[in-house]
Amino acid sequence: MPVISDPVRFNEEQLYVDLRGSLGLPLYLKCEGFNFAGSIKLKAATAMVDAAEREGRLRPGSVLVESSSGNLGVALSVIAASRGLRFLCVTDNRCNRSTIRLMEALGTRVHVIEEPAVHGGLLAARRSYVRSLCTSDDRYLWLDQYHNDNNWKAHYRTTAPAIAEHFPRLDVLFVGAGTTGTLMGCARWFWQWRRRVRIVAVDSVGSVSFGGAPGRRLIPGLGTSVPPPMLDTSYVDDVVHVEEAETVRACRDLASRGFLFGGSTGTVVSGAGQWLERHGRRGLTSVAIAPDLGERYLDTVYRPGWLPEAETRTGHGEVTALTRLAS
């Protein structure tokens, strides 16, 4: 049993869920939510703050500021509280209320953007607000997860090699696309060391990351209204877009088997199911990264009626990809 004094020192890296037993899906789910921040974002947050400290950009009196839809904000809140730093998280009105309360409990100031920018939506508005803060007061230090190479390098150093160690004969890796830090770190590592592994990005319908048309998105985490600067599509073999209704169904299917995961995880599982159905699953070793857990989504994804189009179930004329794979 580990004994720690710093919350960053604990992160469960070894846990996988075999979804054949619960969903009949030939997929191993790498669970990244078992740390004190509750998500994979603790890795990137730690790497970015450590780099800022090493490089002397984080000085006495500095106030960390970051734009986040939720999980990175919580991760930075944990780090700031443990190191005695001040942190301002700029989020928007899609952020789960429980996530905002969690950040505030950790001592973070939270600013919620209500109005989207004309071009780039709520994300562009968040980033614009952060820029204006930094221009007006040099105490603010923007870590800028969208351009910060330490975002993807964290996963190049940890997530990808950990997967390869457990699955030396891995065929397909499914990774959700938000800032694309996790995607790029893993894709670059496997391109360099295990080129035969197929990298499949999973994105939300309504996201513009891979050239899709912008649209309404209610679930925070994956997808973006501004093309992610970090993304290099030459490292990505395939892309799957998932409707939010399918995300909700996947989350609830998992919950009905006792696994309560977050919206990003539901999107990745649904996308993996769709891809495996199209490409065949016999003999493939497949892993998907589960970025988060589900407690922060109880008032949204798991609340009946929150997304009416997700309420249509098998037996009412609709069969999901997960149901087909399990049959």
**Which pLDDT score, from 0 to 100, does residue 154 have?**
98
Query: For all residues of the chain together, what is the average pLDDT?
Result: 91
Domain boundary pick from 84, 110, 142: 142
Tokens 């939510």 correspond to 33
Task: Give the helix/strand (H/E) hosting 286.
Answer: strand 286-290
**Model confidence pLDDT, tens digit, residues 270-326:** 999 999 999 876 789 999 999 999 999 999 999 998 888 777 653 333 435 454 454
Residue 1 counted as domain residue: no
CB 235 within 8 A of CB 199: yes
Residues 311 and 220 in one domain: yes
Residues 298 and 212 in one domain: yes
Residues 50 and 186 in one domain: no
**Model confidence pLDDT, tens digit, residues 191-236:** 999 889 999 999 999 999 998 888 888 888 788 888 899 999 999 9
**Which pLDDT score, from 0 to 100, does residue 212 have?**
81
State the pTM of this model.
0.91
**Which pLDDT score, from 0 to 100, does residue 58 have?**
94
Residues 303 and 209 in one domain: yes
Domain boundary pick from 91, 113, 142: 142
**Domain range for residue 171?**
7-36+149-326
Q: Cα–Cα distance between 20 and 245 in angstroms, integer?
A: 22
Residues 93 and 155 in one domain: no
Residues 166 and 308 in one domain: yes
**Number of structural domains, the chain?**
2
Residues 173 and 262 in one domain: yes
Strand 198-204, strand 238-242: pairing: parallel
Here the CATH number for the domain that contains residue 74 is 3.40.50.1100
C-alpha distances in angstroms, 115 versus 47, 119, 125? 31, 12, 7
**Which pLDDT score, from 0 to 100, does residue 323 have?**
47
Domain boundary pick from 142, 168, 191: 142
Residues 200 and 97 in one domain: no
